[in-house]
Amino acid sequence: MTDRILGLPAKYIQGQGALDRIGEAALQLDNSALVFADGFVRDLVGARVTQSLEAAKVTYQWEDFNGECCRSEIDRLKAKGKNMNLVIAIGGGKALDTGKAVAAELSVPFISAPTIASTDGAVSSIAVEYSDDHTHIGVMRFNCSPAVVLVDTQVVANAPVRLLVAGMGDSLSTWFEARACHAKGINNFRGGAISDIAMNLARSCHETIMHYGRDALCAVEKNLVNEAVERVVEANVFLSGVGFENTGVAGAHALDAAVSRYSSDHSIYHGERVALGVLFQLKLEGDTDAIRKLLPFFKDVGLPINLQGIGLKDMSAEDLQDLATIVMRDGSPIRNLPFHVKHDDVVHALSQLL
Contact 56, 33 (CB under 8 A): no
Q: Is residue 234 close enough to count as binding Zn ion by CB under 5 A?
A: no
Q: Please state the closest distance from residue 253 (CB atom) to Zn ion, in A.
A: 6
Q: What angle do CA 13, 18, 21 make, to 5 degrees?
A: 95
Contact 283, 291 (CB under 8 A): yes
Sheet order of strands, 59-64 included: 11-15, 148-152, 110-114, 87-91, 32-37, 59-64
- The bridge status of strand 32-37 relative to strand 126-130 is unpaired
Q: Please state the closest distance from residue 170 (CB atom) to Zn ion, in A.
A: 4
Q: Please state the closest distance from residue 189 (CB atom) to Zn ion, in A.
A: 12
Q: Is residue 68 close enough to count as binding Zn ion by CB under 5 A?
A: no
Site for Zn ion in 165-204 (CB under 5 A): 170
Q: Which is nearer to Zn ion, 170 or 285 (CB)?
A: 170
By three-state DSSP, how is residue 54 classified? helix
With CB under 5 A as the rule, give the number of residues binding Zn ion. 1
Q: Is residue 97 close enough to count as binding Zn ion by CB under 5 A?
A: no
Q: Is residue 38 close enough to count as binding Zn ion by CB under 5 A?
A: no
Q: Which is nearer to Zn ion, 152 or 170 (CB)?
A: 170
Q: Please state the closest distance from residue 128 (CB atom) to Zn ion, in A.
A: 10
Q: Which residue has its beta carbon closest to Zn ion?
A: 170
Name the CA dihedral angle for 312, 313, 314, 317, rounded to a multiple of 10 degrees. Answer: 10
- Cα 4 to chain centroid distance, Å, stands at 23
Q: Please state the closest distance from residue 106 (CB atom) to Zn ion, in A.
A: 27
Q: Which is nearer to Zn ion, 68 or 170 (CB)?
A: 170
HSE toward the beta carbon, residue 200, CA cutoff 13 A: 4
Q: Which regions of 20-80 does DSSP assign to beta strands (E)?
A: 32-37, 59-64
Handedness of CA 59, 65, 70, 76 (dihedral sign): negative
Q: Which is nearer to Zn ion, 249 or 320 (CB)?
A: 249
Q: Which is nearer to Zn ion, 115 or 124 (CB)?
A: 124
For residues 113 to 152, the per-residue mask of contacts with Zn ion, x marking binding by CB under 5 A and - elsewhere, is ----------------------------------------
Q: Which is nearer to Zn ion, 62 or 130 (CB)?
A: 130
- Binding footprint of Zn ion on the chain (CB under 5 A): 170
